[in-house]
């Protein structure tokens, strides 16, 4: 399947990325875990323990549900695609080994602009 940019369909990429985040939560020994995806169909399928896609997608949904069942107090939510811009940038830079070690204190200008946009959104939502 091809992601239709509206978050209606999910591809192997979406599911695989979600499985990786589940693995991270499982390995972190947290009391509560939250998983987020910009793909509404994937979130609904995981929350309802069903698959509305093809057999490849069904395997991924089953894997995600199995991993999440091992975690106490886990929640799965859909968030808009724009909230993943900074996270995607960081993941890509890390994979390319181009992420500076001090990125938290001194983010590159391209990342800083994404973080600033996120900050403006969250400030509007507070109080």
- Domains in the chain, please, with CATH? 12-79 (3.30.420.10), 82-125 (no CATH)
Per-residue model confidence (pLDDT) at position 72: 73
Angle at CA of residue 12, ends 8 and 18, nearest 5°? 80
Three-state DSSP state, 108: coil
Sign of CA dihedral 98, 102, 103, 107: negative
Q: What share of the chain is helix, strand, coil (3-state, %, to 5)?
A: 55, 10, 35
pLDDT level of residue 9 (50, 70, 90 thresholds) = very low
Q: Is the pTM of this model over 0.95?
A: no
pLDDT (tens digit, 9 = 90+) per residue, 36-62?
777 788 888 888 988 887 767 788 888
87 vs 46 pLDDT, higher one: 46
Cα separation values, 11 from 14, 20, 38, 52, 97, Å? 5, 15, 12, 12, 26
Question: At residue 5, does pLDDT exceed 60?
Answer: no
Q: What is the pLDDT of residue 30?
A: 54
Min mean pLDDT across 5-14, 31-40, 47-56, 100-109 is at 5-14
pLDDT digits (tens, 9 = 90+) for 61-86: 888 888 888 777 777 888 776 767 77
């Amino acid at each position: 399947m091809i992601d239709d940019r509206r978050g209606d369909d999910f591809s192997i990429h979406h599911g695989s990325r979600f499985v990786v985040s589940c693995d991270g939560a499982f390995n972190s020994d947290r009391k509560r875990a939250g998983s987020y995806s910009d793909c509404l169909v994937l979130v609904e399928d995981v929350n309802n323990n069903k698959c509305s896609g093809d057999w490849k997608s069904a395997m991924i949904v089953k894997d995600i549900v199995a991993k999440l069942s091992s975690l106490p107090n886990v929640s799965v939510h859909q968030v808009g695609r724009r909230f993943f811009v900074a996270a995607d940038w960081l993941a890509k830079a890390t994979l390319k080994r181009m992420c500076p070690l001090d990125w938290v204190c001194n983010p590159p200008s391209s990342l800083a602009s994404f973080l600033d946009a996120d900050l403006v959104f969250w400030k509007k939502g507070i109080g």
